[in-house]
Amino acid sequence: MKQIILLAVAAFLALNGVAAASPCDDWNILEKEIRDGRIDRISAKTRIAQLHRLLLDTYGTTAANSAKVFPVADYDYRAIGGRHGNDYRPGGYSFYQGVRHGGHPAHDIFVHDRNQDSLDDATGKPVTIVASANGVVIATNPSWDYPSPVRGGKYVWIFNTAEERYYYYAHLSSVTVMPGQTVTAGEPIGFLGRTGKNAYPRRSPTHLHFMVLSYADGRMLPINPYRELVGAGRGIVKTSH
């Protein structure tokens, strides 16, 4: 019923020449405000809670659970940094601290790119990043230039309504999706690169920063997806829904 009401409101606004912003558009804007420290924590938390509910109401039937796919095409869990996933360190992380957050509640997935040209050494081609799970794209950062302080560089956020999880893919060379677009596991969302404050310097090997957050009463809590990455098998590219 709530979804029908939302669609009716959107239709009314469209008929009257008023552009209705989707919850994805709003989440995309809010994410930048949080990232850059332009909104206080309490206000941000309240707004995230509102948008979380709107996302569930609007897209609850579009992101059913499915088998997970490794997020880097043609790679598997052996590309994960650290030893048995021990590079995952959630201590000190807060979503609401934006670029000032601590910890490393994510896994870095490294590719073969010795000359750091963002091309796979074996194929000479860009490395495709795919959605690890079904979802709706809720935020992107399609542009980044050095020396921007944005740590993720070019990145994508995807929300899975079935799990109520937020998936974050960072350090891309290009983004090929946009907010409001639904994707299925294995569908391309961009290509891997070296964008981001700490990923750009030559001391950093080319890698995908992959993070998953769960939602609980306004809190954005990191969860460790290591076992799922191990069980996902080799990354595949799905060419269509």
pLDDT for the residue 10? 43
Domain tally, the chain: 1
| pLDDT of the residue at 66 | 74
Question: Token digits for 112?
Answer: 């073969």
* Distance of alpha carbon 183 from alpha carbon 160, whole angstroms: 10
Q: What pLDDT does residue 47 have?
A: 98
3-state secondary structure of 75: coil
Name the residue range of residue 192's domain: 1-241
Give tens-digit pLDDT for 90-143.
Answer: 999 999 999 999 999 999 999 999 999 999 999 999 999 999 999 999 999 999
Which pLDDT belongs to residue 21?
A: 76
Task: Choose among 166, 159, 165, 163: nearest CA to 135.
Answer: 159
State residue 62's pLDDT score.
65
- What pLDDT is recorded for position 235? 85
Low-confidence stretches of the chain (pLDDT beneath 70) = 1-20, 62-65, 240-241
Under DSSP, the state recorded for 35 is H
Q: Which CATH number does the domain housing residue 239 bear?
A: 2.70.70.10
Beta bridge partners of 207: 110
Query: Across the strands, what pairs with 58?
Result: none
